[in-house]
Amino acid sequence: MKYCIAFLFIGIILVSCQETTEVSSINPMNWEHRIVVQKPSDTLVSGSTYLSVYSQIYSETEKRIHDLTATVSIRNTSRSDTIYIEKAEYFNTKGHFIRNYFKNTIYIAPMETVEIVIDQRDDKGGTGSNFVFDWNIKPNTNEPYFESVMISTYGQQGLSFTSQGKRIK
């Protein structure tokens, strides 16, 4: 009996000491090496882009929902100029703010792609989640391109589709 209690006690300690993992790639270490210390002194053109993202989608009826993994791509299509992303704000279906993915302006080098991954278990966004990105570019530079790819597989069934950003300002 003493051994059973000892094993139970050790098991409880081991389970309680396990690290929990974040749901979605909101680790600030992903963005720290991209923080802009000083923007160029040139006059920058600013804009905002809306991007729809689905962390869930209906199947058969409105009562059956599939969770999805979403990859949000932020692409710099310029061959020569860096772009600057001020905010990546994530909102749920009802328009409520969920999170901003970085606190400081980040840069994206020419022809580079930066990604945000929303894990399949992260259902905070719901069936109509979206992003608003605020950005800055040098005059006569290509605007950043925003795209999301949603995917899920259940058994032999697979779902995947994309969404493109739309400039709103």
pLDDT digits (tens, 9 = 90+) for 82-92: 999 999 999 99
Q: Give residue 158's pLDDT band: very low, low, confident or very high (50, 70, 90).
A: confident
The helix/strand/coil state of 103 is coil
Cα separation of 164 and 169, whole Å? 16
Residues 6+ apart with CB under 8 A from 82: 76, 107, 108, 109, 110
Cα separation of 64 and 50, whole Å? 27
Q: Give residue 4's pLDDT band: very low, low, confident or very high (50, 70, 90).
A: low
Output the CA torsion sign for 22, 165, 57, 98: positive
pLDDT in tens, 26-79: 555 566 767 877 766 678 999 999 999 998 888 878 888 888 899 999 999 999
Residues 129-150: what's their mean pLDDT?
95
Cα separation of 4 and 151, whole Å? 45
Between 20 and 108, residue with greater pLDDT? 108
Q: What is the DSSP letter of 35?
A: B
Sort 16 into a burial class: Cβ within 10 Å, 0-12 / 13-18 / 19+: exposed
The helix/strand/coil state of 8 is helix
Contact 113, 73 (CB under 8 A): yes
